[in-house]
Amino acid sequence: MPTSPPDRDPRRLRSWRWFGPDDLRSFGHRSRLRQMGLAADDAEGKPVIAVLNTWSDLAQCHTHFRDRAADVKRGVWQAGGFPVEIPVLSLSEMFVKPTAMYHRNLLAMEVEEVLRSQPIDGCVLMGGCDKTVPGLLLGAISAGLPAIFLPAGPMLAGRYRDQRLGSGTDVWKFWAERQAGCLAECAWRQLEEGIARSPGTCMTMGTASTMAAVAETLGMTLPGAATIPAVHSAHARLAAACGRRIVEMVWENVTPASILGPAAFRNAIVADMALCGSTNAIVHLVALARRAGVALALDDFDRISRVVPVIANLRPAGAYLMEDFHDAGGVPALLSRLHDHLALDCPTVNGRSLGENIAGAEVLDADVIRPLDRPLDAAGGTCVLRGSLAPDGCVIKPTAADPRLLVHTGRAIVFRDYADLKARIDDPALPVTPDSVLVLQSAGPVGAPGMPEWGMLPIPQRLLAAGVRDMVRISDARMSGTSYGTCVLHVAPESAIGGPLALVRDGDLIGLDVPGRRLDLLVEDAEVTRRRAEWRAPPRRVHRGYGSLYLDEVTQAPDGCDFRFLEAGPDTPEPDIF
């Protein structure tokens, strides 16, 4: 933490290399600022702040970002900086197919190159809808410039008649009722009108909310930023505060590397577990850590999961929504309950330690943020399993599962890919019972490709109508953070590269033992060996462009699904200015 005022000599600025020297190239740069109507006083010698905006007409969670970018710029001007708004890839979790995860690394690459190649001293990262959070942070870590994250904030709670609705979570529940024939067409239409009522991200503890809380705990946001509702006037004030703070961060040289050490990542896992956060957070945190040069393994998550109770009573695991969490004190209040599990001396973007930021934080509703001795679950926000079906690991969120199924042995019903699942899941001839184990293959990083959120396999209609609402489901896919059920996810190695999941056949016995952290294919070794000898990789689905790069370079889920060539390595040199 700086103890004396920083040196504000403009020659210290990275952008000075573009604008400062008395040479032909800098003349060109300055004359082009004049072309944009900017006088010397407007820009030169000031920190140039990139406002990286993931707004687009198809980014439904970021529709307020044009206004917020203006708020950020106001803050930058106030603090003596020069703001430049730069659009970067907008990744709508809803509209981008096959999945926004497929493009997370593309956003990360864009952010890194946009920052490195231009006269930029620091940046405000404007994201929120699931993959935009890790995408922006991954790029900013690799670029190495001062960066502050501005979360989009959750949308308003949904509403249907007298019920509050949670994004995703309640949609799945009502869809199950509709599939079971218990919900009329007109009610379904009313749900469509009421489930998403404002700008902002999904307001359950889905991936967006989890990653915002993770970013705050890592120290990459201002305190309290993760939960401010998108349409709250405090969100506009937060945006301006980010603009003011990033200017100071440039002078103080507060970079992601100075914040994101091993202890910061452990703190983030503690928060994730206490929130019963999205399983997706595991993949993203591993990728972020690797970019920051920090080793993080699945076992780190399981170790912390065993000792940190779930104390956030938020859907899908609990009862409340993000507005309630914010009003109960948000992330600072949550962390104040967890201080014995946290490294409180970790630095954060506001120049203070995590401990200083949460000192004085108060829990204002003890049913939303439970005391440690009255948790939602004593442990196990996300558990890591291993066994003959997942030698490199897989994950499950037990709090969102039917406890009756956490130890279960059943016979497999295998779907060779998502198209097969869609075609057959409701086939009356499917020999499925409530005790069956539904298995989906070819849904991993390479197989799908992109590891879509297909892991909450639908319950067959026939069983829904009979009252079944949960079954054991296993795949190498991910699952929406808003989803629930006994879904074993991220099975690694994935089936498309020959993991044991590829060798499962209809009728095989599968053993799930969450307390014992096991997932096993209960088939004779000789038979497994025979199947392995017969196995052939599915044909490659993409042969050119970004997709080809993706298939060649993506790592498996336990390694973060980053591209191998993007993981931490020697510093990339600054661009030459000729």
Question: Which stretches of the chain bind ligand FES, using CB under 6 A?
Answer: 61, 93-94, 129-130, 167, 201-202, 206, 208
Length of the chain: 578
Residue 60 neighbours by CB under 8 Å, 6+ apart: 92, 94, 95, 129, 196
Shortest approach of ligand FES to residue 198 CB, angstroms?
A: 12
Q: Are 512 and 409 in contact (CB under 8 A)?
A: yes
Q: Are 235 and 153 in contact (CB under 8 A)?
A: yes
Shortest approach of ligand FES to residue 202 CB, angstroms?
A: 3
Residue nearer to ligand FES on the CB measure, 61 or 88: 61
Residue nearer to ligand FES on the CB measure, 384 or 487: 487
Of 532, 570, 28, 82, nearest to 293 by C-alpha is 570
Shortest approach of ligand FES to residue 201 CB, angstroms?
A: 4
Shortest approach of ligand FES to residue 178 CB, angstroms?
A: 21
Residue with tokens 């690694």: 492
Q: How far apart are CA 104 and CA 90, in angstroms?
A: 10
Residue nearer to ligand FES on the CB measure, 207 or 267: 207
Shortest approach of ligand FES to residue 484 CB, angstroms?
A: 15
Q: Are 529 and 396 in contact (CB under 8 A)?
A: no
Residue nearer to ligand FES on the CB measure, 167 or 382: 167
Shortest approach of ligand FES to residue 168 CB, angstroms?
A: 7
Q: Are 501 and 474 in contact (CB under 8 A)?
A: yes
Shortest approach of ligand FES to residue 94 CB, angstroms?
A: 5
Reduced to 3 states (helix: H, G, I; strand: E, B; else coil), residue 517 is coil
Residue nearer to ligand FES on the CB measure, 60 or 350: 60
Shortest approach of ligand FES to residue 197 CB, angstroms?
A: 14
Amino acid at 209: S
Reduced to 3 states (helix: H, G, I; strand: E, B; else coil), residue 210 is helix
Beta bridge partners of 281: none
The terminus-to-terminus CA distance of the chain in angstroms comes to: 36
Residue nearer to ligand FES on the CB measure, 84 or 129: 129
Residue nearer to ligand FES on the CB measure, 158 or 206: 206
Q: List the 82-87 sheet strands across, edge first.
A: 82-87, 48-53, 122-127, 147-151
**Phi then psi for 234, rounded to 5 degrees?**
-65, -25
Residue nearer to ligand FES on the CB measure, 201 or 217: 201
Q: How far apart are CA 139 and CA 284, in angstroms?
A: 13
Give ∠ CA 243-248-251 in degrees, rounded to 5: 135
Half-sphere exposure of 442 (CA within 13 A, CB side): 14
